[in-house]
Structure 1
């Protein structure tokens, strides 16, 4: 089996894994959990949205997952809703 095609995907996952390490254990667990449990089966657009969502600041991410605010992007909100549903937040 040729692993060359898997290498870029593994590198991307490693980069995303690093980016899910946030300022708090709670955010680490929520976003790292989504990466582990949902990313592989997400479509390309949702994977890209997750990557871009990780550019947001921790206070914004926290407010969104706690339901105190909503991101402007609907694709980000879909990921946040999935995280909230899975963790009953």
Structure 2
């Protein structure tokens, strides 16, 4: 499978149907995922296999995943979202 096909598949699986999750996962996938190392890419792929309710709790920072790799990627997603939202407010 080509890298482009794999990324398209990953994009499809990242679309969760919960607006809050889509707002966090899809921009991260588009802008940060390609630059991740292999371990972090694997953690992202494992993360999107989790249930929506768990993702919501983790990405809303109510709890952190027990798994170290998942916790790391969740924190990266949250930090990316915070950084980009702060950048958007600076331009207003």
Please give the TM-score of this superposition, normalised by the length of structure 2: 0.82
- Partner residue of 1:41? 35
Larger relative CO (CA 8 A, sep 6+): 1 or 2?
2
**Cα RMSD over matched residues?**
1.6
Stretches of structure 2 that go unaligned for 5 or more consecutive residues are 83-92
Query: Segments of 4+ in structure 1 off by > 4 A?
Result: none
Q: Which residue of 2 aligns with 1:20?
A: 14
Contact 1:65 1:80 in 2 (8 A): yes
| 1:87 Cα deviation from its structure 2 partner | 2.2
Greater percentage in helix: 2
TM-score of the aligned structures, taking structure 1 as reference length: 0.84
Which ranges in structure 1 are unaligned for 5 or more consecutive residues? 1-6
